[in-house]
Amino acid sequence: MQRTLLASVFIVASCGLAYELIAGALASYLLGDSVTQFSTVIGAYLFAMGIGSWLSKHVAGNLLVRFIQIELLVGLLGGLSAGLLFLLFTLHAGPFRFALYGLVLLIGILVGLEIPLIMRILKREVAFKDLVAQVLSVDYIGALAVSVLFPLLLAPHLGLVRSALLFGLLNALVAAWALWLFRAQLGPLPALRAQCIAVLALLAVGFGFAGHYVSLAEANLYAEDIVHAESSAYQRIVVTRSRDETRLYLNHNLQFSSRDEYRYHEALVHPGLAALPGARRVLVLGGGDGMAVREVLKYPQVEHITLVDLDPRMTELFAQSPLLRELNGGALASPKLKIVNADALQWLETSTEIFDFVIADFPDPSNHALGKLYSTAFYRLLKQHVAETGLVAVQATSPLYARQSFWTVVATLEAAGWRTAPYHALVPSFGEWGYILAGKRDYRPPQTIPVATRFVTPDAIPALFHFPADMARVAAEPNRLDNQNLVRIFEREWGRVQAH
């Protein structure tokens, strides 16, 4: 009995932490700002566990029966939690936060009941000092196991919905195991046996059909037909198609539309690269879709391009899919291109290469993992890899909808010692979009664009650098690595836009 219950402690500890991690990851995927989401979810979960531990003293009757019932409840709620939350978000994002924290509190209370009950069951067989040591040791080991497996194996390969169902099944199996193992002590309990079978069957069916469920739920989230959807180790990748339009979404945020992505990428590349007729080596940070590389390859004098993108699934997808290869013109297969799948900041710290032109095409700074790529520390590091006459082009969100965010990026570059030339362009899918050219010398616009373009022309370039009153510069503090004020500003500004 002692070993059986200690083994149960290992499993329930793993499951308890898994539900916490899944809730935090889901909130981060759907709401952004990962530090805030994980912090509030973990805080609420631990608070709820404390309530559960306190309530455990009021649990009476046959403690083994109560333990089995609690395991079934935890397995059912925890196992279905990710699927329910995801479906709710796709149907109506408004009540999502209330449902998220309601489920976190309820599951946390039930998880908080588990360990005290096991300790009460074991106290007649084990001395108190040994009881506490054994139970807590196994509890912490279980938590360590799932904390390692979750980011490396479970989230990227199973996804959040199926991972939650897996741990729900484990909780239910612990209940069924305890019911069978202690059948002599418990006696005939047909109702409890039926409950075990029902919960196990429901979770098993859910696990088997989780992929179809996620596809149906996502179909409510996107107006277009989904032609590709997967969860990589770093993000949720969804490609949609509607008539002649293809769209890419990362973590449910639009990254481009094939109807007007040429405007975005031409504005990102040509005002800078056309001003550098001697550019031979180009670095693209982010931009795993290959669109920016496509524009760079139009310049015959460019001899070598290095593309650094964190997610190997992005570069593989846009190199292999016929639909997506057509969009980037097969750019990722160019012999001039070297693809590196790594964190841009870490790669810059180890690289010794110098580049004539750098494109920083990162997703918007919606969380702290991305915010570091818009920090003074990052831009100072980047400066070591740019030639004296070189330029950096930075995508910097919308100066209209996220005005202070845009000018915060400008202030950050300037605080890192760059001379900046901010500009903007209209991209219908996004609205007015902002960019910044940064160099060690003042920027001089090109007199000609020596390659074929559909949007950027020499006559149009001066207008890109003019900001009307509603986008004009505002006071902004640099985004530093230790405070990441840009993430908070960005979330606040885009939150107002989405609320309308």
Active-site positions read 361
How far, in Å, CA of 119 to CA of 56, rounded?
11
Tell me which residue of 271, 222, 239 sits closest to 89, measured CA to CA: 222
- Contact (Cβ atoms closer than 8 angstroms) between residue 396 and residue 435: yes
How far, in Å, CA of 55 to CA of 168, rounded?
22
How far, in Å, CA of 229 to CA of 214, rounded?
10
- Contact (Cβ atoms closer than 8 angstroms) between residue 255 and residue 427: no
To the nearest 10°, report the CA torsion of 177, 181, 186, 187. Answer: 110
Tell me which residue of 339, 80, 358 sits closest to 217, measured CA to CA: 80
How far, in Å, CA of 435 to CA of 267, rounded?
8
Report CA torsion sign: 157, 309, 253, 42: positive
Residues 6 or more apart whose Cβ sits within 8 Å of residue 343: 310
Query: Tokens in use for 28?
Result: 């981060």
- Contact (Cβ atoms closer than 8 angstroms) between residue 347 and residue 340: yes
For tokens 């979404």, name the residue: 249
Mapping DSSP to helix (H, G, I), strand (E, B) and coil, where does residue 173 land?
Answer: helix
**Phi and psi at residue 458, to the nearest 5°:** -55, -40
Give one DSSP letter per residue of 270-295, joined into a string: HHHHTT-TT--EEEEEE-TTSHHHHH
- Contact (Cβ atoms closer than 8 angstroms) between residue 259 and residue 334: no
- Quote the distance between the C-alpha of residue 253 and its chain's center: 10
Beta-bridge partner residues of 426: 432
Tell me which residue of 346, 394, 389 sits closest to 374, measured CA to CA: 394
- Contact (Cβ atoms closer than 8 angstroms) between residue 376 and residue 415: yes
- Contact (Cβ atoms closer than 8 angstroms) between residue 369 and residue 415: no
How far, in Å, CA of 220 to CA of 46, rounded?
33
